[in-house]
Structure formats: C-alpha cells, structure tokens
A and B are shown apart, each in its own frame.
Chain A
Amino acid sequence: MSHFRLAASSIAAPWALFVAGTAHAQAAPSAPANDLDDIKAALAADAKSKPATAAPAETPPATTSSGGIQSLNPDLSLIADFAAAAFSDEQHLQTGAHDPTRNGFNLQALELSLGAAVDPYFRFDSHISFELEGVDVEEAYGTTLGLPFRLQARLGQFLNRFGRINATHPHVWSFSDQPFALGRVFGAEGNKGLGGELSWLTPLPWYVELVGSTMMAGGAETSRSFLGGEERSVHGPKDLLLLAAAKQFFPLSDNWSLAWGMSGAFGPNPSGPGNRSAVYGSDVYLKYRPITTESALVASLTSEWFYRRRQVPGDIVQDVSSYSELFVRFAQRWATAARYEYGSAPFGVSGANIADALDPEWTAARQRVALALTHYPSEFSRFRLQVSRDMPGWRDGIWAGFLTAELAIGAHGAHGF
C-alpha cells in the first residue's frame, strides 16, 4: 500500500474530495443555461442571507466541472494577409512570393496550418498556402519527439533553417514584404524543399543547437543559386543541397536576450559540370522586453548577412546582401519598425564587378529603406502601413506604399523566439 493511501486519515478530506470531484465532473452532464441562472440566483440569495463572516465552503463548489475539449482532430488555423499597394513604378523589384506586387489590391497569403502529434514518436505540421492562381505546399513535415542524445529529425517538405528569417512565415514578419536578400539568394519562396534534417541540442551550459539538413537542390523560387529551375537526377550527395547551421542563445538578463546564428548552404549549380554554389550567413537578434516590471514595450534589432559565391565558367561570382531592422512595440496595440537593406554588385575573383546571369540588370549596389506602423486590434488581427524607398544603383528609385491587413482564425499558434 502506498504512503499516500496510508495517510488517508490526515489528508482524507481533500483527497477524497479530489477523487469525488473529478468523478463527478466526468459524470455530470453540463447544466442548461436557465438552470445555471437559477443556481446563480439561489447562491446569490444565500450569500445575502448569510452573516458577513460566514466561512466559505470547505471545498470548491460541485456545480463546477473539470475537463476540456477532447478531440483527435489536428490544431487548425487559417491566416489571411491582404494588401492595398501603390508603386511609383510598376516595374518594381519586389522579390518575395508573398510581397504585394501590383497597384491596387493583393492577396499576399492565405495560409492553412494543421498540426498534431502522430503518435508518441512524431508530430506532423503542414502549412498550405492558397493563392488566387493555385495552391502551394509551403511545408509538410514530421518531427521526431523522442530521439536519444537530444537529437531531433525532420522529414518532408520544409523551410531550411538558414539564418533567421528564412524558416519563418509572413505573419511573424515586422514588414509586409520580405528582405530582397532572401529573394536574391534563394528565391521568392525562400529556401525550402523536400528533404531531411537532423539537429542536436548540445549538452553545453548555454543553448547551442547544431543543424544539418539535405534537400533537393532545384526550384526556381526556392534554390535559384543552386539548380534553380533545372531538373537533375540525384546520383549522390553532390547533387543535393546541404545545410549546416549553428544557433546559440544567450539570456543576457531577464529583460535582454541575444540569439546568434551561423549558416552555410552548399550545392550544385547548372552553369557547368561540377560547378557548385555556396551561401554563408550570420544572423543576430537582440531583444529587449522588460518582464520584471509591468510594460508593453518590446524592442528588437535583427541583422542578417548573406555572402554568396557561385562557380561559373572562368570565374566565381560573389555578392553580399544584408538587412537590419529595428522593431519597437511601444504600446499594447501599436508598433513601429525601420529596415535598411543592402545588396552589393556581383564581383569576381579579382574583386571587379562582373555580370550575373541570374540577375543581369544587377550591375551596381542596391539599397532599400522601409518604415512601418502596425496596429493590433487584438492578438488575432493586424493592420500595417508601410512605406519604402528602393534605390537600385542601376536605375531610378522606386517608392512603394502598402496598407495591409491580417486576420487569423482557428487554433492559437505557438510562437517561436
């Protein structure tokens, strides 16, 4: 007999009540609304008739019930992003698949997300994006839950964990378009594909996660620096895209946090037999959120750099792209953000500018600045006004203004850091 049973005499009341209360809650049907009103009225009358010092009930009232909604259906949510856009030049240079792209109204994304545990060993998540012209399986992958040695594997179609923004979806961005670096280096959709990933949470005293993945190297909108739109059979690892990343996190204090990542992606490119591409990146995310006192303030600084080199016949095409953004949520319902982006002209081994077959017009440095003001009526809706000025060195600048709306229904999603 357990010690808990042996001591029944001394803690019998709460224990028995706990057991009985649970049993009652499981068995009792929910009372009709009019019954509940009667009960409330009776309880109120009782309370008034009692002396002011009457003791509360020894136990919680039995009219309450415990339990929750039991369902084997996956968590399901739908997030819609709409935009009204105006460009000073309709021949603009937006590179993101979810960016507003035309004057007037745009459907940026209609994302259906489903996720649930498959069994004790896996969970499955999928994000399906509906567009006016079709459907895109953004992600659909299984994640292991119990591999030994703090290993974790993902298998399926997923966004590669290169850097900070690549693995995220538009509804967590601070701006209504993606940094042009992502479109330039990987493609409109960001780097994603069918493949597998293994990550390891190291036993170091601070958070260090090492990630390795491999996926198909093709995709005009996902892997343009690698095989892009070219179909190629896989004969070995050299035909696949390989990724290695290290992610670290430093809780500087209760209020300050710092995340730092380094990434590298490697794979073939179609410019010639055996030619390969490599993208190296580093990302920093510094966040200030006072949680030791009451405050709605959230401030963060994100910077991400990409260095790309591609072997082409007779040379190596290289370029650097980056973005930095400052986000400040200054009230419970309001936030503002500023972003600066830079993309170098392509240069060769000698350091001199050379032509890039992927972006032939990109012959000089490009800069872009953007400001955004966001209003959150609630946690599930958002309106944003964004103005940006694109300054490509090879042509006239472009103004862009977006007014975007986001609406989310369904399961409350869990946010990453």
Chain B
Amino acid sequence: MLQKLSLFSLVLLVLLAPSAATAKLEVVATTPDLAAIARDVGGPDAHVLALALASQDPHFVDAKPHLALALSKANLLLLTGAGLEVGWLPTLLTGSRNPDIQTGGAGYLDCSSLVPLLEVPSTAVDRSHGDIHPQGNPHYSYDPRRVDALAVGIGKRMAELDPAHKSGYFLRTKTLLEGLRTARARWEARLGQARGQKVIAYHNSLPYLADWLGLEVVEHVEPKPGIPPNPSHIAHVLERARADKVRAIVQQAYYPSGTSKLIADKAGAMFVQIPGYPDFAQGQSYTAYMDDLVTKLAKALVVR
C-alpha cells in the first residue's frame, strides 16, 4: 500500500512539478509600447502579448473575440488608460469573464496612473473640442522619462502577482532603467539641436515627445482630435507652416500621409513618418524603437 502511495506521489510530482516550475505570469497589454516594456521587465518569468499591432491606430482597434480569449487567461492587464481604449477594451474585458483583470482587480493596471499626464483639462470640455480625452493626453510613452515610472510600476505589480520571481522582476527593471538612462543621454545629445524647432503633428499625439525634446507643435493636420481634416483647415495649416517656418510634419505611420506630404512639400518642410509603436510582434524593444524614432527625427530636425 505504501509502495502504491509513493508511486502515486511520484507520478503527481512528475506531472505537477514541471508546470509549477514553468508557469509564467500571463501579461496582456493593450498597446505594443507597454508590451515591450513588460517583456523587458518580465523576461523569462512572464509571457506577454499585445492586443493592438504596432501599425494600428490604438483608438480604433476591433474588439475581435479571440482577444477576449487572450484576456480570459491573463494574470495582468496593462492598459494605456486615459480613455485611449474606451471604444473597444470594455467589451473585451466583460467578455473575458476574468475577475482578476476587471477594473479594481489585482491584475488590472491602468498605466496612466503611473505617470504625470499632460493636457488634463482645467475647464469644462465637451465633444465640440473633438474626441478629446478628459483624463489627459494618453500618448505618454513617447517621453522616455515617463517610461522609467512605467517600468517601475509594471515591475512592482508583476512582483506582487508573482512573488516567487520578485528578484528577477527587480533585476530586470533595474537593468531596463539603467539602459534607458544611457540611451536617453544618447538620444538627447543627438536631438539637442532640435530644441525650439517648430513641427506640425497629424493628431494631438506628440505633446510628450515635444515636452521631452523641447519641440513646439504649432498645428495639427486634424482640425480637432478625431475629426478628419478639411480643405479650409489644411489651408490654414499650410499658412501657419509657412509663417512659422515649420521644420517638419511628424506623424505616426497609421495616419494617412497624402495631405501631410502636400503640406510639407508646399511649405518646404520635411515629412517625417514615425512608427506608432515598437514592433513588439517582431521582438523590437522600446529602446530599439526609440533609437529608430530618434534617427528619423534627427534627419529632419538637426542642422548639419
């Protein structure tokens, strides 16, 4: 009888031990920037996926049912917050049936709570201002100074959810912060001459980049956030671009480029298309993404 029990225990150990040892924290990020940071922090202890593609406008992601399936297995949900995903995430979140990642759950991390936000309205706003974000501008990951706080917040939450691997999360967070500090010095040195340059953005998604690099966004191709451009507005933007000697039209690759190229051409400015997010699916890190972004900006904004 004892022999049978021992054999049974051994079988149980063999069956259960590998799964316990290899169990990873399942992390789902709504956008690839958060996913890239989470992958650096999570390392081999976490399995990370992103709901939106790098090439996708994060405001308009289809709530495809298989994304709810991914959320149903998640231990941790990272969202950009500030209303960025309001048009698609709530449906998926309810459909996931996962209590751990519902609002207020231990596995729900609204990353906008980790960083100081810009453009939080100080007066009443409504949709006559366009599709604005009353909680503040959500495009904060273009500022690597804020990414420090994101990495720390994500690392802390991973450690809380998976205390067995706390030291790993800590060490990788520390490594990421050190790497970011070095990279940031490199990026700032490279773009130092760009401070004070005037640019035009397509959507109001560059205030954090401008805040970090000292750029001045003088106009937007969209007349108001989320409102498609019209001829009279574009004429106004062109006039402004000429008057202010705007150096570049900067926009994410997921926005239409024809109008912006026209403005750049007529105003003698450069058209700079930046990737909206790190190509997480292809393994690109946040640092590699910013290297690429800084290179593109430097070509347009730094006088040689």
Q: Is the CB of B63 within 8 A of A207?
A: no
Tell me the chain B residues, 110-127 only, with Cβ under 8 Å from chain A: 112-118, 120, 122-123, 127
Choice from B136, B213, B256 contacting A296 with Cβ under 8 Å: B256
Q: Hey, which chain A residues are within 8 Å of B91, CB to CB?
A: 414-417
Q: Is the CB of A52 within 8 A of B196?
A: yes
Contact of A31 with B by CB under 8 A: yes
Q: Is the CB of B117 within 8 A of A30?
A: no
Cα distance, A412 to B59, chains bound together (Å): 11
Cα distance, A132 to B122, chains bound together (Å): 39
Choice from B97, B166, B254 contacting A3 with Cβ under 8 Å: B166
Determine the residue in chain A with the shortest Cβ distance to B166: A3
Cα distance, A5 to B26, chains bound together (Å): 25
Beta-carbon contacts of B200-228 to A below 8 Å, as 1s and 0s? 00000000000111100000000000111
Determine the residue in chain A with the shortest Cβ distance to B153: A18
Beta-carbon contacts of B252-263 to A below 8 Å, as 1s and 0s? 011111000000
Q: Which of A14, A201, A206, A207 has the most CB of B within 10 A?
A: A14
Contact of B298 with A by CB under 8 A: no
Q: Hey, which chain A residues are within 8 Å of B112, CB to CB?
A: 66, 68
Contact of A333 with B by CB under 8 A: yes
Contact of B82 with A by CB under 8 A: yes
Cα distance, A416 to B69, chains bound together (Å): 14
Known contacts: A61-B211, A201-B97. The answer to whether A207 contacts B68 by CB under 8 A is yes
Contact of A33 with B by CB under 8 A: yes
Known contacts: A332-B228, A332-B256. The answer to whether A251 contacts B155 by CB under 8 A is no
Q: Is the CB of B86 within 8 A of A3?
A: no
Beta-carbon contacts of B37-75 to A below 8 Å, as 1s and 0s? 000000000000000010110000011111011001000
Determine the residue in chain A with the shortest Cβ distance to B224: A378
Q: Hey, which chain A residues are within 8 Å of B171, CB to CB?
A: 3
Q: Is the CB of B82 within 8 A of A60?
A: no
Q: Is the CB of A417 within 8 A of B63?
A: yes
Q: Which of A53, A287, A412, A414 has the most CB of B within 10 A?
A: A414
Contact of B287 with A by CB under 8 A: no
Q: Is the CB of B55 within 8 A of A293?
A: yes
Contact of A93 with B by CB under 8 A: no
**Which segment of B14-22, B143-151, B232-240, B241-249 sits at the interface?**
B143-151
Cα distance, A267 to B233, chains bound together (Å): 59
Q: Is the CB of B62 within 8 A of A259?
A: no
Q: How many residues of B contact A (CB 8 A)?
A: 83
Closest chain A CB from B91 CB (angstroms)? 4
Closest chain A CB from B225 CB (angstroms)? 10
Choice from B65, B83, B116, B196 contacting A417 with Cβ under 8 Å: B65
Cα distance, A414 to B152, chains bound together (Å): 30
Determine the residue in chain A with the shortest Cβ distance to B196: A47
Choice from B148, B159, B228 contacting A18 with Cβ under 8 Å: B148
Q: Hey, which chain B residues are within 8 Å of A27, CB to CB?
A: none
**Which segment of A144-152, A178-186, A225-233, A270-278 sits at the interface?**
A144-152
Q: Hey, which chain A residues are within 8 Å of B95, CB to CB?
A: 152, 201
Contact of B295 with A by CB under 8 A: no
Q: Hey, which chain B residues are within 8 Å of A57, CB to CB?
A: 145
Contact of A21 with B by CB under 8 A: yes
Q: Is the CB of B257 within 8 A of A294?
A: yes
Q: Is the CB of B104 within 8 A of A64?
A: no
Q: Is the CB of A47 within 8 A of B214?
A: yes
Choice from A3, A61, A249 contacting B64 with Cβ under 8 Å: A249
Q: Is the CB of A257 within 8 A of B122?
A: no
Q: Hey, which chain A residues are within 8 Å of B135, CB to CB?
A: 67-69
Q: Is the CB of B65 within 8 A of A209?
A: yes
Closest chain B CB from A72 CB (angstroms)? 12
Choice from B65, B90, B152, B213 contacting A249 with Cβ under 8 Å: B65
Determine the residue in chain A with the shortest Cβ distance to B213: A56
Contact of A167 with B by CB under 8 A: no
Q: Is the CB of A10 within 8 A of B66?
A: no
Contact of A2 with B by CB under 8 A: yes
Beta-carbon contacts of B171-201 to A below 8 Å, as 1s and 0s? 1011001100000000011001101100000
Closest chain B CB from A197 CB (angstroms)? 13
Closest chain A CB from B150 CB (angstroms)? 9
Contact of B29 with A by CB under 8 A: no
Known contacts: A18-B152, A30-B122. The answer to whether A69 contacts B134 by CB under 8 A is yes
Q: Hey, which chain B residues are within 8 Å of A296, CB to CB?
A: 256
Q: Hey, which chain A residues are within 8 Å of B134, CB to CB?
A: 68-69
Q: Is the CB of A201 within 8 A of B68?
A: yes
Closest chain B CB from A166 CB (angstroms)? 17
Known contacts: A55-B188, A249-B65. The answer to whether A201 contacts B170 by CB under 8 A is no
Known contacts: A18-B153, A21-B116. The answer to whether A415 contacts B88 by CB under 8 A is yes
Q: Is the CB of A33 within 8 A of B123?
A: yes
Cα distance, A415 to B91, chains bound together (Å): 7
Cα distance, A53 to B185, chains bound together (Å): 12
Choice from A64, A201, A207, A378 contacting B131 with Cβ under 8 Å: A378
Q: Hey, which chain A residues are within 8 Å of B268, CB to CB?
A: none
8 more CB-based (< 8 A) A-B contacts, given A64-B116, A66-B113 = A3-B166, A18-B152, A32-B122, A52-B196, A117-B102, A292-B53, A294-B55, A411-B86
Q: What residues make up the interface of B, taking CB atoms closer than 8 Å to A? A: 53, 55-56, 62-66, 68-69, 72, 81-83, 86-91, 94-99, 102-105, 112-118, 120, 122-123, 127, 130-131, 134-136, 143, 145-146, 148-149, 152-153, 155-156, 159, 166-167, 169-171, 173-174, 177-178, 188-189, 192-193, 195-196, 211-214, 226-228, 253-257
What are the 3 tightest A-B residue pairs by CB atom distance, in nearest-first order?
Answer: A146-B99, A68-B135, A14-B148
